[in-house]
Structure 1
Amino acid sequence: MISTLTGTVHHVGLDRVVVEVGGVGLTVHTTPSTAAAAHLGRESRLSTSLVVREDSLTLFGFGTPEERDLFELVQTVSGVGPRLALAMLAVLDPASLRLAVASGDVRTLTKVPGIGKKGAERLVLELRDKIAEPEAVGTGGDVARPTAAPEATRRDPVREALVGLGWNARQAESAIDAVLAREGDDVISVPALLKASLRELGR
């Protein structure tokens, strides 16, 4: 099992990064927030989980061991695979996910695409005794904003990332439209637009 990965970042996408380790570039699937924290040419250290299938080896990376551990824990629930587990952590930060499960907050859990009421109830039933309720749910601090990108340049990759996380194209477009109408050029980068669209879809 590959538990951590440290190397130079050679590519940053919305939901993946390529990290070079020992001359080999490894594609690591991430949440949008983890990808946004990576910087080209800089060293990155990720907590990782390797998912082995008959025809593939897929590496998932996270900014903290807690995120990785939650990613692996939720997959112990029937019907939850790596893609859905990653979507949970894209929509809900670890503290919010723990709180939702521990408190039986089905409504919050169903904000994740692919999780219906029955699926949320199953998550609560199977994980409530295994997951610790956080003392408080924190919020991230502000980060420096990059130079604004044209709307078309921002819209296409964000739509693709949202569809990849499980929403349909119409839902993705509606969320992007709502964010741009409300915040306009305040959302000036692709990662910022993606984060704001995720918040919109989670309302």
Structure 2
Amino acid sequence: MALKKKIILIVSITLLAINVWAIYNFSVDNLRLVRLCTSTIFLVFFAILGGLKNVKLFIVLILFCISDVFILRYDELLYNNATSILSTLGYLVLASYLIPRFSIKNMHIGLKVAFSGILLVSAYVFYEVIGLMSQSLKSELHRYLYYLYSLVLLGLLVLGGNYFFRYNTTKSLYCLCFIFSFVVSDLFAALSYYSNLPLFYYPTRFFIV
């Protein structure tokens, strides 16, 4: 295993252990601080290990870090909305990398059907999650931001899945896993906060790490 991969693996396992321990021992406010520290550490390691060559991904990680700063005051509507806006912008930047690589010309019909099914299931899950959150959303702007956020995530899943099935390389697999992990993490984060289900903090941190 290359040195870079070993370092990333060790850092990831360490951060995952810290996050799990923090969930068990810390309050929500302190958990948010741990999340910010986690994303910042990943950003720093990404830059140190040559990630600056991938400008768009670096911008995505910066936007996510700034979003995590606003999460520290997530209970206030202004910062809640700012978190959604920055996260959406991050996903849009990531989508801008994938859009030029999008094509369905050479995809097997079976893959198209399977992927369409996965997309429909994902759309239904998002719909149900927003339904669960509806009583907790604090304004119409808040609601529309979440609709936009969900649509962007669904679009990103389409782009990531198409990128993987079209090229079928290690890079495209990592990209799909990166997208899938953030999407699942965000879903569990929304459920844990808006539905008051603290147990979902565990999968949230697992997938984000």
Normalising by structure 1, we get a TM-score of 0.28
- Identify the structure with the greater helix proportion: 2
Normalising by structure 2, we get a TM-score of 0.27
- Identify the structure with the greater strand proportion: 1
Report which structure shows greater RCO (CA 8 Å, sep ≥6). Answer: 2
